[in-house]
Amino acid sequence: MFPHGGGPATGAWGGPPASRRKGPPRPQVRRAPVSATMAMTSPPPVIGENLPFPPELPGLAWLFVGLVESAEGHLTNDDLLAVAKRLQRWAPKLPIERVSALIRHTIADYRALPDVATRGARTREHNTELAQLVPRQRLAEVLTALYEIASDDGVVRDQELRFIVNTTQQLGLSPDPRLLAIAFLYLTLSIVDGHVDEAEKLVLREQAQKWAPGISIAERAVVIRWAIAEFKRRPELDDKMQCAREAADQLAVSTDKKTRRQILAEMWRIAGADGHISPEEQRFIAEMVSRFKLDS
């Protein structure tokens, strides 16, 4: 049937060659049976992977991104991580990877808008929505977070302060200007002698609570942070003094004499909190007496 020399090779005894002979079967590793349930089950999800975003989170992400972008024009990787960590405080169960992804998405949306006016309009929309979604006390915490982000590098830029002021107004949290004026006076008094004593800082916080007993701690923090931001925007003492004079003139026409006397009494207390009232502090208070029209 096969041509000469063809056909399968044979061994010496007419059977298959030794290389093709079957040896004894190899022992097989026994495998545990796979149940139908295991076969159909997907790998366990990452914790927080399927949690929905809180409804306020996209708006908060927009504010945090808008603040940094308005001042610097772009977020570095370090900025992105810092912003993501702050945003995660509002949704601590969400993995940082998901929060960071939201920040990156928000950056892309922010930069896709054509101009400052359009971005401002979108910011206003988010603030309107946040004012409806978030309780007032927590809204004050939003402003605190914005001040923290703005002051990360030690300087609150004009663009950042403008963004925060606009946000404060749009959220309906603009503090009483008289409280801001009082806080600025106290801050100026605390540095006219060249340094701020820890005891003076403590008294300053106590006075903020006294002058605004009906608002939350977070809202009082907004007043102090706003005053501090205005304070830091004026690096020269002369500029601080000029702003303090304007604040005193504002209080002279917006408060009664009893209130102004109370403000002066507290200024003496702040000045003496460290056990010593310097000549510079005495001169500052004397000028405030004159501007308050209490020297007659």
Per-residue pLDDT of the chain (296 residues; tens, 9 = 90+): 334 444 434 444 344 444 444 455 554 444 434 333 333 333 333 444 566 889 999 999 999 999 988 876 666 777 788 899 999 999 999 999 999 999 999 999 999 999 999 999 999 999 999 999 999 888 888 988 898 888 877 777 888 888 988 998 899 887 788 888 888 888 888 887 665 555 555 666 666 667 666 677 777 777 777 777 777 778 888 888 999 999 999 999 999 999 999 999 988 988 887 788 889 999 999 999 999 988 76
**Predicted local distance difference test score (pLDDT) of residue 120:** 94
The b/e string for 150-168 (b: 16+ C-beta within 10 A; e otherwise) is: bbeeeebbeebbebbeebb
Q: Which of 135, 122, 138, 116 is nearest to 59 (CA)?
A: 122
Burial class (CB within 10 angstroms; exposed 0-12, middle 13-18, buried 19+) of 248:
buried
For residues 47, 53, 59, 64, the Cα torsion angle rounded to the nearest 10 degrees is: 0
Q: Where are the domains of the chain?
A: 57-170, 177-291
User: For 177-291, which CATH superfamily applies?
Assistant: TerB-like (1.10.3680.10)
- Can you give the pLDDT at residue 229? 75
SS3 helix, strand, coil % of the chain, rounded to 5?
65, 0, 35
